Amino acid sequence: MAKNELNIVPPQAASTHLAIVQLTRAGDLVQTLQAASEIKKEKPQIQLTLVARKHYSDSLKFLLETVFDNIVTIDTPKLFSSNLDNAFSELSQTLNLISKTPIDALVNLSFCKPSQYLCGLIKANHKLGPWIGSDNQDYISDKWSQLLYSTVTQGPLNPFHLVDLFKLIIGVKTKKDSNAQQMTPRKPVIVVHPFASTDRKRWKPHKWSEILYSISKNHEDHTIYVVGAPNESQLAQEIFSGQLIKTRKNIVNSVGKTKLKDVFERLTEARLFIGHDSLIGHLASLAKTKTMTLALGSVRPWETAPYGANNLVLSPRAKCFPCFPTEKCAQYICHSDIPYQVVTNFAGLMLKDKDLKLEIEKSTSPFLTGSCRIFLTEFHKKSNLIDLCEIDIKSGNTADILRPLYRMTWALLLGELEENREFPLLTKEAHGKLLSVMDGIKYVYELSEFGKKYSLSIVEEVAKDSPSLSKIKANSQKIDEIDKLLSLVKNSHPSLAPVIDYYNIARANLPGGNVVEIAQNSFFVYQDSALATSILNELIGKTLAEYKINLNQNSNTVSR
Amino acid sequence: MNIVKEIQEALVLVQSTLDKGKSLTEKERQLLFLVALAEEAHRGEK
């Protein structure tokens, strides 16, 4: 069956030819490039193949070719240009091209259905990430891909940056970022990309008119290039139709007039990039340019902020942020949480060659920054994974408190990486919610222990001289019941979804060729689930204890 | 016959293979990839 179509071996142990499939958008391609460039640095002899959509990869070819030895493209319009026979023939040619050199490890970093079918079709000794077998079933064998699949875009609780997850899936050792920002001399240039893929992720043109006017006035010695794709020209026209902005001579509208390669070259000479979450921000981080990202709508900045140290991210405090792309929203309340004065002030600070964190700390005030959150990216000192560090930190919501705790748990369990962190700040409300989370954790722990018990019973029964089929069936039914109860716990405690979903996926992908092997592996997955919940329980317990100590100290101070 | 009709007819055969609990052939798996790609193209993906 399909599970015999591969062996499970980490790619770093097997790969001389590594093929990476990335069928999502251009921004994801740049993030894939950032991860792939690390494995190339680690193993210069490795042969790297990229499989991507032609529409997105063609414009980035100048960058992709610097890391990948072969780029094979999926040309959707060409595939469907004629009849079905022609489509089959085109596809077969593409598949032959991908595996012209035998593939040691195939990695799917895109989580869309076509990529899963494609990875099922590509012959490789080892497969990582999701793929669909000849039995039309989904498979994900490696732990980091299972985590990505169960947490990214599922809610606000994935604690890792996408590039870090890609690196961990590929098997790149996490090292300190050796390339500091702006190593090359820079010109007095600021690049602005005031657009994003959807309306909810970007400000209205009039707000950008005001920002561009202010920045151009405050920095008359700088030239500000507004960049964008041809389909963003209409919005650019609206920005430049304002009366005030027309008076400024140091703003250049190059939207729709330059190729991506020219934009990248501009970024390599610029002192600052300002924009929303988009491809250009990722290009700016690749060009080692300081970036300021305005994260709005459905953007999860801890997953997709420009990758690298010292990038500034501003995000709203609105409770509904970040939303889901499918949720209807007519108001875009979060758009008004970041005042344009904050952007212009911080742009000034970023252009000074001083300690940015210190400068920002000095200039934050409740009047200006009360409604928005300010983050600086940095590599964690111990794990070297990127971290979004909040400046002027206030007590967060439950997701903000749990995200770092999840991060410590996953880093330790899946990557054997340790991270020390300060205790999250709690409010009275958050304290109450965490107590409820702990109740849920107890249920998950107990159910995991039952899972261990019934998995072990199956192993013991099979080992008998004359095993009873009815007893094996009964234990198997108990395990099914446990899984049902776990989904009930997920409904009543949504903040435990990452741990429940992750181990669900792990159980759905149990390796093993017979009942004993599968039952043994089921036991290990339940054991891991129990371990993850105990770590989370301990971390939350200590956070609550710290909150009580602080509370007592404060009340003692007041009573004195 | 246009490619959409061709795909629809071929999909009926794939369903029948799956209903019988048999493994899909290489061509049937290729067809499922094309269908997934076409569905995404229909939703606006390039």
Contact status, residue A38 vs residue A172, Cβ threshold 8 Å: yes
Q: What is the share, in percent, of chain A residues with pLDDT greater than 70?
A: 95
A428-463 vs A398-415: helix axis angle to the nearest 10? 30
Mean pLDDT, residues A409-416 taken together? 95
Hey, is the C-beta of A4 within 8 angstroms of any chain B C-beta? no
User: Which of A38-42, A339-343, A449-453, A461-465 has maximum average pLDDT?
Assistant: A449-453
Q: How far apart are the CA of B8 and the nearest CA of chain A, in angstroms?
A: 11
Which residues of chain A are within 8 Å of residue B12 when distances are taken between CB atoms? none
pLDDT range class, residue A194, cuts 50, 70, 90 = very high
Mean pLDDT, residues A25-31 taken together? 96
Is the confidence at residue A193, as pLDDT, over 50?
A: yes
B36: nearest CA in chain A? A114
Contact status, residue A67 vs residue A99, Cβ threshold 8 Å: no
Interface test mutation site (partner B, options A23, A75, A136, max chain B beta carbons within 10 A) = A136
Q: How far apart are the CA of A329 and the nearest CA of chain B, in angstroms?
A: 20
β-strand partners of A105 = A18, A126
Which residues of chain A are within 8 Å of residue B15 when distances are taken between CB atoms? none
> Could you give the angle at the alpha carbon of A79 between the alpha carbons of A74 and A85, nearest 5°?
135
User: Which of A314-323, A364-373, A492-501 has maximum average pLDDT?
Assistant: A492-501
CB atoms within 10 A of CB A73: 18
Q: How far apart are the CA of A248 and the nearest CA of chain B, in angstroms?
A: 37
Mean pLDDT, residues A511-525 taken together? 93
DSSP 8-state secondary structure symbol assigned to residue A174: P
Interface test mutation site (partner B, options A113, A122, A139, A197, max chain B beta carbons within 10 A) = A113
What does the alpha-carbon distance between residue A337 and residue A371 come to, in Å, rounded to a whole number? Answer: 5
State the residue for tokens 């142990």.
Answer: A13
Using CA atoms of A110, A502, A11, A511 in order, give the dihedral in degrees to the nearest 10.
-120
Give the up-direction half-sphere exposure of residue A50: CA atoms within 13 A in the CB hemisphere. Answer: 30
pLDDT range class, residue A425, cuts 50, 70, 90 = confident
What does the alpha-carbon distance between residue A346 and residue A214 come to, in Å, rounded to a whole number? Answer: 12
β-strand partners of A47 = A17
Give the ranges where A43-161 is alpha helix by DSSP (H).
54-57, 61-64, 76-79, 84-98, 113-121, 143-151
Which residues of chain A are within 8 Å of residue B41 when distances are taken between CB atoms? 76, 80
- Residue A71 DSSP SS3: strand
Same fold, A2-170 and A189-394: yes
Q: How far apart are the CA of A118 and the nearest CA of chain B, in angstroms?
A: 6
Residue type, A420: N
What does the alpha-carbon distance between residue A210 and residue A218 come to, in Å, rounded to a whole number? Answer: 12
Residues 6+ apart with CB under 8 A from A539: A405, A408, A409
Chain CA centroid to CA A482, Å: 30
β-strand partners of A20 = A50, A107
Hey, is the C-beta of A178 within 8 angstroms of any chain B C-beta? no
Residue type, A270: A
Which residues of chain B are within 8 Å of residue A92 when distances are taken between CB atoms? 30
Q: Which of B10, B30, B37 sits opposite A121 (nearest CB)?
A: B30
pLDDT range class, residue A545, cuts 50, 70, 90 = very high
Contact status, residue A404 vs residue A421, Cβ threshold 8 Å: yes
What does the alpha-carbon distance between residue B22 and residue A485 come to, in Å, rounded to a whole number? Answer: 32
Is the confidence at residue A52, as pLDDT, over 70?
A: yes
Hey, is the C-beta of B17 within 8 angstroms of any chain A C-beta? no
Chain CA centroid to CA A268, Å: 25
Nearest to A384 by CA among A350, A409, A415: A415
8 Å CB contact of A113 and B36:
yes
Give the pLDDT confidence score for residue A558 in this predicted structure. 61
What does the alpha-carbon distance between residue A389 and residue A312 come to, in Å, rounded to a whole number? Answer: 10
Looking at per-residue pLDDT, the higher value among A156 and B45 belongs to A156
8 Å CB contact of A56 and B37:
no
8 Å CB contact of B46 and A134:
no
Mean pLDDT, residues A40-63 taken together? 95
8 Å CB contact of B30 and A91:
yes
What does the alpha-carbon distance between residue A429 and residue A436 come to, in Å, rounded to a whole number? Answer: 11
pLDDT digits (tens, 9 = 90+) for A529-544: 999 999 999 999 999 9
Q: List the structure tokens of A402.
A: 């749990």
Looking at per-residue pLDDT, the higher value among A132 and A185 belongs to A132
pLDDT digits (tens, 9 = 90+) for A60-77: 999 999 999 999 999 999
* Order of strands across the sheet that contains A47-53: A70-74, A47-53, A17-22, A103-108, A124-128
pLDDT range class, residue A183, cuts 50, 70, 90 = low
Hey, is the C-beta of A80 within 8 angstroms of any chain B C-beta? yes
Of A148-157, A391-400, A417-426, B21-30, give the lowest mean pLDDT range: A391-400
Q: How far apart are the CA of A125 and the nearest CA of chain B, in angstroms?
A: 17
Q: How far apart are the CA of A300 and the nearest CA of chain B, in angstroms?
A: 21
Which residues of chain A are within 8 Å of residue B24 when distances are taken between CB atoms? 134-136
A189-394 classified as CATH 3.40.50.2000: yes
Is the confidence at residue A560, as pLDDT, over 60?
A: no
Instruction: Could you please state the CATH topology (level 3) that the domain comprising A428-552 is classified under.
Output: Methane Monooxygenase Hydroxylase; Chain G, domain 1 (1.20.58)
Give the pLDDT confidence score for residue A353 in this predicted structure. 82
Nearest to A356 by CA among A264, A279, A267, A271: A271
8 Å CB contact of B7 and A121:
no
Q: How far apart are the CA of B35 and the nearest CA of chain A, in angstroms?
A: 8
Q: Which of A79, A82, A135 sits opposite B34 (nearest CB)?
A: A79
β-strand partners of A386 = A379
Give just the sign of the alpha carbon dihedral A132, A138, A141, A147. Answer: positive
Q: How far apart are the CA of B41 and the nearest CA of chain A, in angstroms?
A: 8
A87: nearest CA in chain B? B34
Q: How far apart are the CA of B39 and the nearest CA of chain A, in angstroms?
A: 9
Mean pLDDT, residues A218-236 taken together? 97
Give just the sign of the alpha carbon dihedral A54, A56, A59, A63. Answer: negative
Peptide bond preceding A404 in cis form (omega within 30 of 0): no
Residue type, A226: V
CB atoms within 10 A of CB A333: 14
Is the confidence at residue A1, as pLDDT, over 50?
A: no
> Could you give the angle at the alpha carbon of A36 between the alpha carbons of A35 and A41, nearest 5°?
105
Q: Where are the beta strands (DSSP E) in A222-283?
A: 223-226, 251-253, 272-276
pLDDT range class, residue A397, cuts 50, 70, 90 = confident
Could you tell me the residue ranges of all domains in chain A? Answer: 2-170, 189-394, 428-552
Interface test mutation site (partner A, options B2, B3, B22, max chain A beta carbons within 10 A) = B3
What does the alpha-carbon distance between residue A403 and residue A160 come to, in Å, rounded to a whole number? Answer: 9
What does the alpha-carbon distance between residue A101 and residue A111 come to, in Å, rounded to a whole number? Answer: 25
Residues 6+ apart with CB under 8 A from A7: A125, A126
What does the alpha-carbon distance between residue A389 and residue A35 come to, in Å, rounded to a whole number? Answer: 22
Give the pLDDT confidence score for residue A179 in this predicted structure. 52
CATH value of A2-170 in 3.50.50.60, 3.40.50.300, 3.40.50.2000, 3.40.190.10: 3.40.50.2000
From the number of C-beta atoms within 10 Å of its C-beta (0-12, 13-18, 19+), residue A403 rates as buried
Q: Which of A56, A114, A136 sits opposite B37 (nearest CB)?
A: A114
Using CA atoms of A35, A36, A37, A41 in order, give the dihedral in degrees to the nearest 10.
110
pLDDT digits (tens, 9 = 90+) for A238-286: 999 988 898 999 999 999 999 999 999 999 999 999 999 999 999 999 9
From the number of C-beta atoms within 10 Å of its C-beta (0-12, 13-18, 19+), residue A5 rates as middle
Give the pLDDT confidence score for residue A155 in this predicted structure. 83
Is the confidence at residue A100, as pLDDT, over 70?
A: yes
Which residues of chain B are within 8 Å of residue A74 when distances are taken between CB atoms? 37
Contact status, residue A455 vs residue A522, Cβ threshold 8 Å: yes
Give just the sign of the alpha carbon dihedral A340, A345, A350, A351. Answer: positive
What does the alpha-carbon distance between residue A93 and residue A395 come to, in Å, rounded to a whole number? Answer: 56
> Could you give the angle at the alpha carbon of A228 between the alpha carbons of A223 and A230, nearest 5°?
130
> For every one of its 46 residues, what pLDDT tens digit does chain B have, with 9 covering 90 and above?
588 888 888 888 888 888 888 999 999 999 999 999 988 888 776 6
pTM of the model: 0.93
Q: Which of A53, A80, A87 sits opposite B46 (nearest CB)?
A: A53
- Residue A462 DSSP SS3: helix
8 Å CB contact of B46 and A76:
yes
8 Å CB contact of B24 and A53:
no
8 Å CB contact of B3 and A74:
no
